[in-house]
Amino acid sequence: MLGCLSRSTLRQLGHRPTFRADLPTTPPRTMDLMDGRAPLEQDPTDPKPPRALGRIGNALALTIGGCAALMALCMIAIAVFGQMGLGRVGAGLTGGGLLLVSAPLIALTFSRPLAKGLLLLAMTALAVFAGWLCFWPQGAASPSPAAQAAVIAFAALLLFRVYLARRGRGGNPRTG
């Protein structure tokens, strides 16, 4: 019996359909959607997540990225202007690395392609720095072969990921 009623009539009666069979088979009329309210239930075949989750995710990424950037700037300022003798270079490098990693989180809120580019830059810098630490000749300590293999694997996986991303674009200017 409920299948023959329109959505506006069901809404007026306060009925919320729970089964697919209860939904009317006819598409909604434009007059039903003109009141500006959201539909009663989200279509399960719709691949887009609700907008509220995207906004919460953007706010969370911006908050975490902003806190990490603020902490990185404080570490750099302490390394530059502080009265520390030992660890000045380490604090500066740690602050710079943290600033480099926080940049994609901040940019994610505004532009997804920019965030992807900054993330690629951060990962490339991490791979180069890890390679420098593992393969630069050091007098006192030498890295283990497992650490060197891990650095080589990370760099190879990063290059393979960039290759796959560039190959998928092809030569079509419309796909970017």
Instruction: Please report the pLDDT score of residue 35 as a whole number.
Output: 52
Q: Is 50 exceeded by the pLDDT of residue 176?
A: no
% of the chain beyond a pLDDT of 70: 67
Please provide the size of the chain in residues: 176
Backbone dihedral region for residue 21 (phi beyond 0: left; psi -120 to 50: alpha; all else: beta): alpha
% of the chain beyond a pLDDT of 90: 12
Distances (CA, A) of 90 to 23, 84, 175: 63, 11, 42
Instruction: Please report the pLDDT score of residue 157 as a whole number.
Output: 93
Residue pair 143/133 in contact (Cβ under 8 Å)? The answer is yes
Instruction: Please report the pLDDT score of residue 16 as a whole number.
Output: 61
Average the pLDDT over each of 7-16, 106-115, 155-164 and give the range with the smallest value.
7-16
Pick the more confident residue, 30 or 149.
149
Average pLDDT, the chain: 77
Q: Is 60 exceeded by the pLDDT of residue 140?
A: yes
Letter for the amino acid at 70? L
DSSP annotation of 27 reads P
Q: Is 60 exceeded by the pLDDT of residue 41?
A: no
Side-chain half-sphere exposure of 79, counting CA atoms within 13 A: 16
For residue 17, name the pLDDT band (cuts at 50, 70, 90): low
The domains of the chain are located at 55-110, 118-136+144-168
Report the pLDDT averaged over residues 124-152: 86
Tokens 């299948």: give the residue.
3
For residue 1, name the pLDDT band (cuts at 50, 70, 90): low
Report the pLDDT averaged over residues 78-96: 84
